[in-house]
Amino acid sequence: MHGATRAVAYLMLVGGPYNLVTGVLMKLGQPLAELIALGVTSLGLVIMGVICWWRPKALPRQFWSAVSFLAAAVVTGLNLATEDATTGAQLFYLWPLLYAASFLSRRNTIVTVLAISAGNALVTFKYLDVTRAVNDWAAMTVAMAMTAWVVLNLNHRNDKLRTVLQEQATSDALTGVANRRAFDQALQPAVRSAANGDDPASLVVVDVDHFKQINDTWGHAAGDRALRAVADALRSAAAGTDHLVARLGGDEFAVLLRSGPKDAFRYAERARSALAATEGLPGGPPKLSIGIGTTPHHATCAEELQRVADAALYQAKDGGRGRTAVAGTPPPQTVEQVPVPTAS
């Protein structure tokens, strides 16, 4: 939208003064009604340019989709009003064409090319002889169509490249899940939404138990396979839910779920079961220690949610690893921790 609004503003702010100079000041002596119409049009273009520059939100969203057709109509009207069928005047059709090809859909661009072709035909066949009009109209239509095709294909390639770069910037190369950057970008909005009364946001933090031992015993290749197995288990367990699985670094994963603590706990156990069913790993599938914190149940901001989820993770580790702990749940007491009653 920013690029579109600026493009329209540039056209209006340049086209208005240009039309005033070439259509009014340089043609003084022409019929007064024609000069007034061109002057008013020039002023209108400048006013629209100022609005597009300073207050683009004041215009309805549909305007930005229709502006290429409106611009083609304005160019056609000005060429008819000035009785100008020269190639230079027709080249102003390039602006609505480039705008449509750069900011609108392929279908809108095709319709814009047809509108330009029709507008050019109105001007050329009105002021030129038939043979020259046919030649000029055909040449302009073909040139506009080829220009649209080139710009659309360049934009398509740029879109694909941008998608690849975005995936590379937000995904973990080893496991294919999101990376810390993508996780950090998603956490704040999810927590804010949950704190404002939308669906709860649960943060599930996961550590692979004794991961260093896997690397030391079976090698880093086996460790990488174990990490990919963990990522696959976390993704498969979250299928059908609103979630984000991320690898934060090393053997640490995080899963953002739009659910309450009970559903998050059930998710953690599904992931643990999915991982336990994995075959082909040296030494068998690793075990997971998992901590869960939920907004608004346990925290009201992203920093606090991460803190309580990490605390629950350490609680799971202290409890013997290979288990899930939920924030705010007292740790299970061992026999040694049960207070011995004292004689009064």
Q: Mind listing the pLDDT tens digit for each residue in 80-131?
A: 877 888 888 888 898 889 889 988 889 999 999 999 999 999 999 999 999 9
Residues 261 and 315 in one domain: yes
Full-model pTM: 0.59
Does 187 have pLDDT greater than 50?
yes
332: in domain:
no
Label residue 73 exposed, middle or buried (CB < 10 Å: 0-12, 13-18, 19+).
Answer: middle
344: in domain:
no
Cα–Cα distance, 208 to 229 (Å, whole number): 11
Which helix (H) or strand (E) covers residue 274, if one does? helix 261-276
Residues 143 and 98 in one domain: yes
Report the domain count for the chain: 2
Residues 264 and 291 in one domain: yes
Residues 152 and 191 in one domain: no
- Of 134, 169, 204, which closes a domain? 169
Give the number of other Cβ atoms within 10 Å of residue 249's Cβ: 10
Residues 280 and 162 in one domain: no
pLDDT tens-digit readout, 117-163: 999 999 999 999 999 999 999 999 999 999 999 999 998 898 888 88
Q: Which residue has the tokens 């998992």?
A: 290
Residues 163 and 24 in one domain: yes
pLDDT tens-digit readout, 235-246: 999 988 889 999
Q: Which positions are annotated as active-site residues?
A: 251
User: Where in the sequence is the domain holding 275, given as residue range(s)?
Assistant: 180-326
158: in domain:
yes
Residue 330's pLDDT is what? 52
Sign of the Cα torsion 16, 22, 26, 28 reads: negative
Residues 38 and 98 in one domain: yes
Residues 163 and 192 in one domain: no
- Of 169, 197, 216, which closes a domain? 169
Residue 104's pLDDT is what? 87
Residues 239 and 192 in one domain: yes
Structure tokens at 239: 């299928």
Does 310 have pLDDT greater than 80?
yes
